[in-house]
Amino acid sequence: MSTGLPVSRPAPGLPGEPSGSPGSGVRAPRRAPRRRILAATLALCGVLVMLYPPAASWWAESTAAGRLAVHAEQNRSLDPAARSALLTAAEDYNATRVTGLVVDPFSNVEGADAHGIDDDARDYLAQLAHDPEGIMARVRVPGIDVDLPVYHGATEETLRRGSGHLYGSSLPVGGPGTHAVLTGHSGLPEAKLFTAVHDLRAGDDVFIDVLDRTLAYRVTGAEVVEPTDVAGLAVRPGEDLLTLVTCTPIGVNSHRLIVHAERVDLPDGGAPPEPSRPFPWWAVLAVVAVLAWAATVLAPAGQPRRH
């Protein structure tokens, strides 16, 4: 029932009136742009995922380069007589202890590495063992940007850090009647390692640095074999050979790629110069992506619009 008294009604658009109420003439400010934040975050995650392989590879190569620099300094600091003794011992080992009986380095069976310790394994691990990090040599393939430390044996731990020297093959010090076999992983997302070995062709050069000695080998060919086929790793009388072994096809790893090389004289210019480290452009892209994400997420939602 009406009281007859006038009813006070607030005028539309007065201060304090809930924004966006009927008749206010103002659209309510938009809420936090959740879709925009989600889209920006997903885009950032996608960019970071794409940048992971080059970033991880750059880090692995930088770590290996640091270890090799320390190794080279230790070699230079050795007394010349000590270096000569280490090389002589390795050459004697090749002449008297190497049988050439090897197994597939990626088979994870007994005999694939030197860590089932017995007297023969102890003798092997004592060769070229002057580096506290366990580096015995260095393998460089300038044509495919491979530059890795070489460690004793072919354990999984070893092959994650660099190249492994296959136990049972000749130590990589060169000489007639020797055949050194170096192994490495291919296709790892976090490190290139021997991935580019698939691109080697006849005529490409491979260099081995051991103590104060640099050995040059030239690729003569490659073959794909079953894991159990190790005939191509045997010593050949009078020849100085080097073989690089990795799994193939990448990601399947059902066979082995074996790249053969034979000893040649060093090029006229000597050993190749030290490789330069590429600029980490992935880091720049990562910073740009993060800044773009921050600008998108932290930007104001925008001013409300009037009708």
Mean pLDDT over 245-266 rounds to 95
Is 247 an annotated catalytic residue?
yes
pLDDT at 206 over 90: yes
Distance separating alpha carbons of residues 11 and 78, to the nearest angstrom? 94
Confidence check: pLDDT of 3 > 80: no
Return phi, psi of residue 129, to 5°.
-105, 40
Active-site option among 179, 185, 255, 260: 185
Q: Which of 13, 31, 44, 274 is nearest to 142 (CA)?
A: 274
The whole-number average pLDDT for the span 293-304 is 69
Q: Specify whether 45 is catalytic.
A: no
- Cα 72 from Cα 214, distance rounded (Å): 12
Per-residue pLDDT of 110-135, as tens digits, reads: 444 555 567 788 899 999 999 988 99
Instruction: Spot the catalytic one: 247, 255, 260, 307.
Output: 247
For the structural domain made of 48-282, what CATH number should be given?
Answer: 2.40.260.10
Three-state DSSP state, 182: strand
For the stretch 61-95, pLDDT in tens is 777 888 888 888 888 889 999 999 999 999 999 99
Report the C-alpha gap between 162 and 276 in whole angstroms: 18
Q: Where are the domains of the chain?
A: 48-282
What is the rounded distance in angstroms from the CA atom of residue 241 to the CA atom of residue 124?
A: 19
Identify the pLDDT of residue 109. 43
Range 6-16 average pLDDT: 52
**Confidence category of residue 295, pLDDT binned at 50, 70, 90:** confident
Closest CA to 165 of 178, 143, 181, 177: 181
- What pTM, to 2 d.p., does this model score? 0.74
Which residue's entry shows tokens 């010349």? 80
Percent of the chain having pLDDT more than 90?
45
